[in-house]
């Protein structure tokens, strides 16, 4: 490595101002294993950010690592366009056997460009093509990516402004819980039923069951089921964007699988490769699998390294229920710790579901101060929500209990110190 | 690998109809080295598709491979969001030292989502933000990707129809050579100068110097320079989409670098990682580097494996002029062979530039027949152009001369057989 | 007149299928005075449609008629583009003296193309230009016209579909009463306050205080005042589209004038000429009067005949409070009669305000049957609402009490017969 | 009239800054007959602006005037929505008999909102509905109105900027003569034939045969015929926007009628009422007459006063060829005079066709100075073109020869004085 003594100079000198996480989490990282990361100065950190849920199985899982090294050593195909490769075939077989078949899902798999946004763009395009309609219903605080199509469905104003052009084709509806006790599906239903509501007949209703970037807003099963019913009743496809909430994050492989709904289209990315490698896919009910050859295309659809690690991830973690049970156990630990955190801040409250929980502490400043203090103590953790007011825990699902508790303790300590400081200042 | 006996069943059963290349190139590939690929039955193929120019340095380059295995073995960071990593720092330093500085370029580097389309989306958004204008001038037969923003700039009707929604914000102008002898910059200039032309003042003019998907249309230096001048005269940024034509494909690292122009924004993807791994970036003149933190973001901006191989590629091939000389030599061989091919078909003619050349054989059927016959003989090669009428050679730039000549001979043989067959049929 | 014996042949032969009212109200009309119309066969009808509220002062008001004949006889200018004419000057002076000054309004008057849709388009464009924002908040069941800009703000799905293209730039919010007891301004406020709601900062909030075409939904004063406050707090203009509800229809000249709000922009059309002649205008707070010369233009901005009759209308009806008192009296009569109607139909209920009231009878079929029966009995009356389920009375405000009661009695009789028939059929 | 002493105060005080013509032509007009207008101070002017071609038959034609006064005196219907009225029936019969039938046209007549822009919006919507396509090809320097749909097709940048929002759904192509000797239909054809040109399959190609606002650019018969052929070959409708060039302005009732083409849709407005009253209509080939009832609607579709005068205009001027002959004669006079004008200015040249001719004097300043000087001498005349560089004569077609020559002489005198002044200044 040529990069040595003064590692951040080059970033300041040559990397675009668009860089972001590195501003708060300012170390230069050189290694990572499981839930831990190491920086250039030899410090180690517990990682509760986990690549924004791209590392549900932790960094450099030894089995995936071994398989990947073997693949590369043997001159396995690295880039395969959308050609048949043994790596892709094996991934598909593992995915079919361990994921789709046990859940009674007949979906076809479309490998899109290897980003979540690209999967979302493909899903939106496909829904429009299937229905011959343009409008897509998306929800307040939804986050679906920043390319022009995906961005139209994304709620975040900062990112929307980045478009500097008109974002169209989407109707925004209030998410579950957005209007207090009012059941927001009622408004959705009223507008769908009303020929003069101004909501054009939708091609799809697209939702995250837990809004990761939007602040860990978790929809209830009932709400999602009502939305699913409304979609089908009105000839719209149901798209579940499971990019952040899927791959076990909420406790099961799909975030919705215990609710008895059958989305027409599901988007996946982030943890689907298991190893943090770029990969995106769209699951499609067979009757909607109507794109022509390459109608939605992209060079990196065949990132075979990701197929290799993705296959191992599926086989290792999803061939039986044990991993699911493990996640359930850790989720309880997480809830307990976060309740403790919430009690430190007046009006703070828990949000989220499974291993995708956090605490709304009421202000972005406070949340960022807590995360900043935690980083000083060796914990990588981030905020989310419209005003960054939610301290969000996205630990690898594979985090050993001891490390998990250690990380949570750092978080609690950091929160205690910060809130204490404010209390003293206020007195 | 679980995938064994009957390898294509799983693709038919579970992969979406959107798959494409695998329909013509029907083998299941299991290995690849340099310019050669191997299939599950042990057959080897010469690869003149090269991941659509994502594999300019061939498959599994031994130096990149070694560096990558070392990185993985040492538990180097695989997924780094946009955090500082030693791998990213080293890539940036190599890129600065070997690419930017020698060419007097002060551009900042923005790592976008790891697809070309994402780089294009970022470039378009940035140009709009910089200028406060919406309109982007793009050209006939341009191909920039299929997400909604990028697709608006893409000419291809098949892909545009896939949007099933309105694509806006782009004015289309005829590319160099589109109107015979008429200099198409004259129309561009007239419309830019005319307040009632209906062309809104553009945020950017975006072009490929050689249109890869569009049929290997190569713009002349003069034409590109005139367009660059018009852009700057009219307060528009010049975006060169160098995704397919860059990384040495036309003979130099950037496809335009010998013409004395200085694009405001340059997009790169495909071969930038050197190894075929997903990676995209945007080069931005410092005064235009005005995105806020994460204003354009994406989970996989920090594909560190790609940084590792990308660094090696830069250092190995671009630290002196030798590789450039090698490409120049092979380009001559290519031109000679393709001239021979062109003579076999009435009215056929050469297109393209450097190692990005092909032959327009007048019909998509004929071109596909030639490529199909070549595949039977062990050569992977594809068509391009609005009607797939161009037989396109995109061999790895590192192809050994012997292999290169062997591949070209297969192509010529295939063409000879096909044209002979048609001649006999016609008699 | 060449049109004689068989008057409807020509319409069937040559008029487009887009024609509409004439399908239900099938007479060929030859004359009209006050609240009465006469057809080619000498039948007279009481007109409770009044040109959809374009004839608030009845047909052929004798004073306007005299002024218009005098103007034409004297070769007064008929078409004046946007040149100064004495007719325009006189209209403006009368409008300033009798309308704007007494209400403390400092608005400038912009004469747009002579349709309501054109006034709405100008209002939307101006709000966008003033604020540099694109998004306009409009409401469920709002109706603002069918040109592409206005149509984007219109709720009606039938008309929206007519666009056959994307309608963009508008966010739809639930109107007052759309969600039962839930105060819909709370959702509006939540989304305006939430940077990730997906509602882009609006250029304007545009509303009708009583939605004429939308089914006579009358907003409460409190609701409108809250919306006005939210608009100003969030840097958005408040546009009141008073095209159907203005000119005395709800009891005062402007439909909102007793509520203490000061819209930034007000659109007027329909009855503004007094005589049913095409005319549209936009009232603009002086600080927002920033269109350049002819930036929004149109040939027929200077329909001087309309200025002549419009001036008489203003001077005759709005120089003191007497007309307003008269309307108040008639509104009571109307309420009483419609309550009687509502009692005939289970679950039917009164809607609207002032002389813009109707009865929601629960189904479009029933409402149309009642109106059809009324027409047979000599009363012209129409439905409105998303499913045409509201029997809507839009009688001229000048209707003599005797005629008014006569018309209402016909309506009640028609309703009685229709409901009686259904009751018998059901038994 | 209350408007007396100081007539322009009220305009300055209360009329929006959007007013335009009145800035240069600053008189307050009080009367008008034939080709002459009178102002408040008793001055008379010759009117070569003619309501921008809305007054092809002059001001207050005595026969139309008589018919209109009779209609009003008899309490004829003034506002008829889209109900059947005897006035509408008589107009349709006269239009059928004198216009459609003699020209073998089977078009249906759709009365749109009474503005040209509204007719254009209806035409564009209908073409999109008929074809299921969105894209409409329009031309450089085309002017079709300023509502959002029409504005998307309008070339003028000043008006387009007024939108302050995205205008989409239109592809712009170079008009006849825009590229010197290059036949611009070749580019259109190439792009229509090329599946990757980026021009989506068009719903319609829309053109003016003479671009009035765009600078009197007259398309040749051959060019229009080629465009018509291309439209039909590619499944697109041909829309001729004959709003300014129709009603005899170019010598025949329709501007294209001698060329053997049959547009699918024709828009008319401006002079169609004969008297300068607001009226717009769309002519539609029967097979395309597929709007549902009121799918495109508007309150003032039934401006019966306009039907009355429009009928008289049709019967008086178009029942035989005499008026056409008269126009032909005057066109020669016009050409001769304008050639004289063109000779006064270096590089100036004649533009236009029939009674729609002008001189491009090379600069907007000069053109405006000439028109300003003419106004001082009692001639109302305006400029057009992207930079207002064309002195445009739009005299009423009925102008008596003597008045016509008098007006032209004033124009020549004004031009002489202005050019003389500049020559002296330059020396």
Residue D22 to residue C83: CA distance in whole angstroms = 4
Cβ-based neighbours of A64, under 8 Å, separated by 6 or more: A57, A274, A275, A308, A309, A312, A313, A316
Q: In this structure, are strands C265-268 and C237-241 parallel, antiparallel, or unpaired?
A: parallel
Give D212's DSSP letter: T
Backbone angles phi, psi at A370, to 5 degrees: -60, -45
pLDDT tier for residue C6 given thresholds of 50, 70 and 90:
low
- Stretches where chain A sits below pLDDT 70 are 1-7
State which residue of chain C sits closest to A181, comparing Cα positions. Answer: C182
**Residues of chain D with C-beta less than 8 angstroms from the C-beta of B160:** 198, 200
Of A167, A173, A170, A174, which Cα lies nearest the Cα of A148? Answer: A167
Determine the pLDDT at residue D6: 54
CA distance D76 to D303: 11
Contact D37, D380 (CB under 8 A): yes
pLDDT, residue B1, reads 37
- Residue B244 has a pLDDT of 98
Enclosing H/E stretch for C108: strand C108-111
Per the listing, tokens 């590629």 go with: B313
Cα distances (angstroms) measured from residue D370 to each of D214, D348, D367, D376, D412:
19, 13, 5, 10, 9
Rounded Cα distance, D159 and D155, in Å = 8
Sequence-distant (≥ 6) Cβ neighbours of residue D223 within 8 angstroms? D176, D183, D184, D185
Give, in order, the Cα–Cα distances in Å from A341 to each of A213, A329, A347, B271. Answer: 20, 19, 11, 47
Cβ contact (<8 Å) for C187 and A170? Answer: no
Instruction: Assess contact for D18 and C297: CB atoms under 8 A.
Output: yes
Position D164 scores a pLDDT of 84
Q: Give the pLDDT of residue C427.
A: 81
Minimum distance, in Å, between the CA of residue C360 and any CA atom of chain D: 22
Q: Which residue has the tokens 């031009």?
A: D415
Dist CA C206 CA C136 (whole Å): 7
Mind telling me how many Å the CA of C418 is from chain B's nearest CA? 46
**Residue B401 confidence (pLDDT) above 80:** yes
What pLDDT is recorded for position A356?
98
Give the closest of D27, D69, D118 to C72, CB-based: D69
pLDDT, residue A378, reads: 98
Confidence band (pLDDT; 50, 70, 90) for B6?
Answer: low
Mean pLDDT for all residues in chain B: 96
Cα separation, B324 vs B313, in Å, equals 13
Beta-strand relationship, B204-207 and B170-173: unpaired
Maximum Cα–Cα distance for chain D, whole Å?
A: 68
3-state DSSP percent of chain A in helix, strand and coil, to 5: 40, 15, 40
pLDDT at B7: 62
Q: Are the C-beta atoms of residues D162 and C296 closer than 8 Å to each other?
A: yes
The 10 Å CB-count burial string (b at 16+, else e) for B247-259 is: bbbbbbbbbbbeb
Quick check: C134 and D165 in contact, CB under 8 A? yes
Q: Which residues of D151-172 are buried (b: 16+ CB within 10 A; e: fewer)?
A: bbbbbbbebbebbbbbbbbbbb
* Residues 6+ positions from C240 with CB-CB distance below 8 Å: C206, C207, C208, C209, C254, C255, C256, C263, C265, C266, C267
Among D84, D94, D166, the residue with its CB nearest the CB of C28 is: D84
Average pLDDT score over residue span B108-121: 97
Please write the tens of the pLDDT for every residue from C16-68.
999 999 999 999 999 999 999 999 999 999 999 999 999 999 999 999 999 99
Write out chain B residues lying below 8 Å of A212, CB-based.
Answer: none
pLDDT of C2 > 80? The answer is no
Question: Subunits touching B (CB < 8 Å, at least 3 pairs)?
Answer: A, C, D
- B147: DSSP letter: S
Query: B interface mutation test: which of A297, A314, A392 has the most B CBs within 10 A?
Result: A297
Chain A residues with CB inside 8 Å of D166's CB? 165-166
The continuous run of DSSP H or E covering B95 comes out as helix B86-95
Facing A196 at nearest CB: one of C156, C195, C198: C156
Q: Which helix (H) or strand (E) segment is C283 a member of?
A: strand C281-284
**Residue A164 C-alpha from the chain's centroid:** 25
Going by pLDDT thresholds of 50, 70 and 90, the confidence category of residue B3 is: very low
**Of D141, D160, D166, which is closest to B168 when you measure between CB atoms?**
D166
d(CA A209, CA A256) in angstroms, rounded, equals 7
Determine which of D12, D31, D78 to mutate to test the interface with C (most C C-beta atoms within 10 Å).
Answer: D78
| pLDDT confidence tier of residue C7, bands split at 50, 70 and 90 | low
pLDDT score for A5: 44
Q: Give residue C4's pLDDT.
A: 43
Predicted confidence at residue B5, as pLDDT, reads 44
| pLDDT (tens digit per residue) in C215-246 | 999 999 999 999 999 999 999 999 999 999 99
What string of pLDDT tens digits covers the 427 residues of chain D? 334 445 689 999 999 999 999 999 999 999 999 999 999 999 999 999 999 999 999 999 999 999 999 999 999 999 999 999 999 999 999 999 999 999 999 999 999 999 999 999 999 999 999 999 999 999 999 999 999 999 999 999 999 998 888 899 999 999 999 999 999 999 999 999 999 999 999 999 999 999 999 999 999 999 999 999 999 999 999 999 999 999 999 999 999 999 999 999 999 999 999 999 999 999 999 999 999 999 999 999 999 999 999 999 999 999 999 999 999 999 999 999 999 999 999 999 999 999 999 999 999 999 999 999 999 999 999 999 999 999 999 999 999 999 999 999 999 999 999 999 999 988 8
Give the contacts of C128 (CB within 8 A, at least 6 positions apart): C134, C136, C169, C203, C204, D163, D164, D165
Cα separation values, C133 from A51, A151, A155, A240, C236, Å = 35, 17, 17, 31, 9
Domains defined along chain B, listed by start = 9-61+330-426 (3.90.1150.10), 77-317 (3.40.640.10)
CB contact at 8 A, C79 and D115: no
Walk across the sheet containing C265-268 and list its strands.
Answer: C108-111, C281-284, C265-268, C237-241, C204-207, C136-139, C170-173
How far B200 CA lies from chain D's nearest CA (Å)?
Answer: 7
Closest CA to A175 of A211, A200, A146, A149: A211
CA of D247, closest CA in chain C: separation in Å?
A: 15
Of A166, A278, A291, the CB nearest to B18: A291
């Amino acid at each position: 490595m040529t990069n040595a003594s003064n590692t951040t100079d080059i970033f300041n000198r040559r990397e675009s101002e668009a860089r972001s996480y590195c501003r708060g989490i300012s170390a230069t990282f050189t290694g990572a294993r499981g839930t831990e990361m190491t920086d250039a100065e030899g410090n180690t950190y517990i990682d509760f950010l986990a690549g924004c849920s791209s590392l549900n199985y932790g960094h450099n899982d030894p089995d995936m690592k071994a398989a990947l090294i073997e693949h590369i050593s043997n001159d396995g195909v690295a880039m395969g366009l959308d050609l048949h490769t043994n790596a892709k075939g094996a991934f598909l077989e593992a995915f079919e056997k361990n994921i789709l078949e046990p859940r009674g899902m007949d979906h076809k798999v479309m490998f899109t460009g290897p980003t979540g946004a690209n999967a979302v763009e493909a899903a939106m395009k496909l829904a429009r093509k299937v229905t011959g309609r343009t409008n897509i219903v998306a929800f307040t605080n939804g986050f679906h990516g920043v390319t022009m199509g995906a961005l139209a469905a994304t709620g975040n104003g900062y990112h929307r402004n980045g478009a500097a052009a008109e974002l169209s084709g989407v109707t925004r509806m209030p998410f579950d819980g957005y209007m207090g006790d009012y059941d927001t599906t009622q408004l959705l239903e009223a507008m769908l039923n009303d020929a003069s509501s101004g909501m054009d007949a939708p091609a799809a209703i697209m939702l995250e069951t837990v809004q990761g970037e939007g602040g860990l807003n978790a929809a209830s099963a009932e709400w999602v089921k009502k939305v699913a019913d409304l979609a089908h009743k009105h000839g719209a496809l149901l798209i579940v964007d499971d990019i952040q909430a899927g791959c076990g994050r909420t406790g099961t492989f799909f975030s919705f699988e215990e609710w008895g709904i059958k989305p027409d289209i599901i988007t996946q990315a982030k943890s689907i490769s298991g190893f943090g490698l770029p990969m995106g896919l769209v699951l499609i009910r067979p009757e909607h699998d109507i794109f022509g050859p390459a109608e939605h295309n992209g060079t990196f659809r065949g990132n075979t390294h990701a197929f290799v690690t993705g296959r191992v991830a599926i086989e290792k973690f999803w061939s039986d229920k044990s991993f699911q049970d493990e996640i359930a156990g850790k989720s309880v630990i997480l809830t307990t710790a976060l309740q403790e955190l919430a009690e430190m801040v007046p009006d703070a409250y828990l949000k989220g579901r499974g291993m995708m929980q956090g605490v709304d502490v009421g202000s972005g400043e406070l949340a960022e101060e807590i995360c900043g203090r935690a980083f000083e103590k060796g914990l990588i953790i981030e905020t989310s929500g419209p005003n960054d007011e939610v301290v969000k825990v996205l630990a690898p699902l594979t985090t050993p209990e001891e490390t998990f508790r250690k990380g949570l303790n750092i978080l609690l300590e950091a929160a205690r110190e910060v809130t204490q400081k404010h209390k003293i200042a206020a007195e």
